[in-house]
Structure 1
Amino acid sequence: MRVDNYVHPEEKKVVDEKRIKMLKLFSKVATATCILMYVSYIPQIIANFSGNPVNPVQPAVAMINATLWTGYGWLKTYKDWPIIISNVPGIFFGLLTIVTIYIH
């Protein structure tokens, strides 16, 4: 009887280690990209101070979204630090953008 799907335990261990390594890299890149997305609010904040206020809807929704994701990462059994770290800047930059729309 031939079993085509059999994987030797040592091979499986190597595959699992590669998968974990790739997942860690993926989470670091995703975290950095998410932070960059929120840092990109700086030009909008500058526009607000320059007398050209932006629409508050997008930064408000982004701030709410970041708050929800941060809460999700914090409330998990094991804190999901990539989610927390990548979304905390969204709370601050979203709030700062909204505040500078009305105070400029």
Structure 2
Amino acid sequence: MNTEKFFHYLSWVATTTGLLMYVSYIPQITNNLAGDKGSPVQPLVAAINCTLWVTYGLLKKPRDIPVALANAPGILFGLLAFFTAL
């Protein structure tokens, strides 16, 4: 396998695992809403981090769409986990 093909596959595997990482906030959000509150710090920091990476991915020339896609759910789910933990 050549280097370009390797990095193409690696980027999409990393995108998929990034999406799964942030979707995994759903149980914490559910627990927060049920009254079993978790810490709001980590989800807030994750949301800020993801906002920076999405901005980077979309403003970079050429755009880095896998980076933006992998981090976009982290903004939503990080903020949801943060606000429901308060």
1:57 maps to 41
2:73 maps to 89
Q: What is the rounded CA distance, in whole Å, between the counterparts of 1:92 and 1:69 in structure 2? A: 14
Question: What per-residue deviation string (whole Å, max 9, x for no partner) do you get for residues 10-69 of structure 1?
Answer: xxxxx7xx1111111000100001111101101100110110111000000000000000
Q: Which runs of 4+ in 1 moved over 6 A?
A: none
| Aligned-pair CA distance for 1:75 | 1.1
Q: How many residues align?
A: 86
Q: What is the rounded CA distance, in whole Å, between the counterparts of 2:35 and 2:14 in structure 1? A: 33
Identity across the alignment (%): 51
Any gaps of 5 or more consecutive residues in structure 2? none
Q: What is the rounded CA distance, in whole Å, between the counterparts of 2:14 and 2:65 in structure 1? A: 12
1:77 maps to 61
Q: What is the rounded CA distance, in whole Å, between the counterparts of 1:58 and 1:101 in structure 2? A: 11
1:25 maps to 9
**TM-score (norm. length: structure 1):** 0.79
**TM-score (norm. length: structure 2):** 0.95
| Aligned-pair CA distance for 1:98 | 1.4
Any gaps of 5 or more consecutive residues in structure 1? 1-14
Aligned alpha-carbon RMSD (Å): 1.1
Q: What is the rounded CA distance, in whole Å, between the counterparts of 1:46 and 1:77 in structure 2? A: 38
| Contact kept in structure 1, 2:32 and 2:84, CA below 8 Å | yes
Whose radius of gyration is greater, 1 or 2? 1
Structure 2 letter corresponding to 1:62:
A
